[in-house]
Chains A and B, each alone.
Chain A
């Protein structure tokens, strides 16, 4: 028969766990709202950047000699994967699914005989990937946007990627991140950054409607400045999506944990009460049978 005192302690400990998880859920909820707002706020810039790029790209593609960031190096031997995960745990399958997808990509690319390099953002992703692919990780960032994710954080990552690209260290770059769909659902997304694919339909569709632009200085020069910017903004968007997803995943995980703790407390309380009654009954029986024996 379980000890009453032990049960009582157990209940108390689960209760305090429940308090913590429900507090974490609230925090995650408010952080989620902030992250979502931030993600929305970055929309206009990205949208206008996309518009500018597609009209520029339409012009440059005709002339046939676009910058390398758009046309690629002509080879596709070396792949760079930018894996975006979180610094902290307790957010359900968030990091697990990112790492799983990253591993899948690495194995697939290696299977095709390509060289893979990995750049990680976030401690959890780095720790998990390091177990198997330590030699592939070229750079990792931690504490990115710990207080508030800024554009400069994304710029830092983008600068590194660009420096590597200019040094000819890779041919193709993709980013792996969690795309925010809702608080309960995040979609692991792989997006190619270099060479940058201008959405073909958009170019075709806007060709007639778009007025013919004058360029100052010429197209190539603007593109040469615009494309690195675009890389930063794409990484910024990915970081924002990932931050919102992280909070969403944490909120859901903590909600489940709170509910499970509640169930557990109920079960433990029933066991506790039963045991207490059993003790009382036992003692009564002892007293009565003692009295009868006299």
Chain B
């Protein structure tokens, strides 16, 4: 097997993951990108979505992130996430309820700021649901 890339997932509250992996697929804001060892250095924003961690050809870990930033160097891939949950820990019913609540919030919102806040939360919740639907297809 080729060289491994050091994958780090960090949230403001703690260092969630730090391990050498074969490949990670990160949902960049301009499209998903895979990172293998020796990737050219880059910095990208991350949209709400799922990070897939590959070991060989298999996905060993799927983590949902609610947006953030990714820094890629030749030997390392660091993702700064605002919120990160393992996909298996997401509960479909809870997410659906959250979407419903947030849609109501959106309808009730009075100011532009409230509206924007509700919209961004809703986008995150929708992305969670998408991730779940995808996950079950696997």
Contact = CB atoms under 8 A, between A and B. Distances in A.
Nearest to B68: A229
A217 B29 CA distance: 8
B12 A225 contact: no
Contact of B80 (A49, A221, A236): A49
Given A48-B71, A216-B28, A41 B15 contact: yes
A151 B13 contact: yes
B69 interface: yes
A42 interface: yes
B71 to A, nearest CB: 5
Given A217-B29, A222-B69, A48 B41 contact: no
Contacts of A151: 11-13, 82
Interface residues of A, number: 30
Interface residues of chain A: helix, strand, loop or mixed (majority): helix
A138 interface: no
Contacts, number: 78
Contact of B43 (A213, A229, A233): A213
Contacts of B93: none
A222 B70 CA distance: 11
B80 A225 contact: no
A73 interface: no
A214 interface: yes
B29 to A, nearest CB: 7
Interface in A47-68: 48-49, 51-52, 55-56
B110 to A, nearest CB: 15
B90 interface: no
Nearest to A41: B14
Contacts of A214: 40-43
B12 A45 contact: yes
Interface in A200-224: 211-217, 221-222
Given A51-B71, A216-B30, A211 B15 contact: no
Contact of A226 (B40, B69, B74): B69
Interface string B7-47: 01011111100000000000011100000000011111100
Contact of B42 (A38, A163, A215, A229): A215
Contacts of A233: 12
Nearest to B33: A216
A113 interface: no
A208 to B, nearest CB: 14
Contacts of B40: 214
Given A49-B80, A51-B71, A211-B73, A150 B42 contact: no
B95 to A, nearest CB: 18
A202 to B, nearest CB: 15
A44 interface: yes
A39 to B, nearest CB: 11
A233 B82 CA distance: 10
A225 B13 contact: no
A45 B8 CA distance: 10
A221 B43 CA distance: 11
A49 B29 CA distance: 18
Interface hub of B11, B14, B40, B74 (most chain A Cβ within 10 A): B14
Closest 8 CB pairs of A and B: A214-B42, A41-B14, A216-B44, A211-B41, A151-B12, A44-B15, A45-B10, A213-B41
Given A44-B10, A154-B12, 11 more contacts: A42-B13, A45-B80, A52-B80, A213-B42, A213-B71, A214-B40, A216-B42, A217-B30, A217-B45, A222-B69, A233-B12
Interface of A: 38, 41-42, 44-45, 48-49, 51-52, 55-56, 150-151, 154, 163, 211-217, 221-222, 225-226, 229, 232-233, 236
Interface of B: 8, 10-15, 28-30, 40-45, 69, 71, 73-74, 78, 80, 82, 113
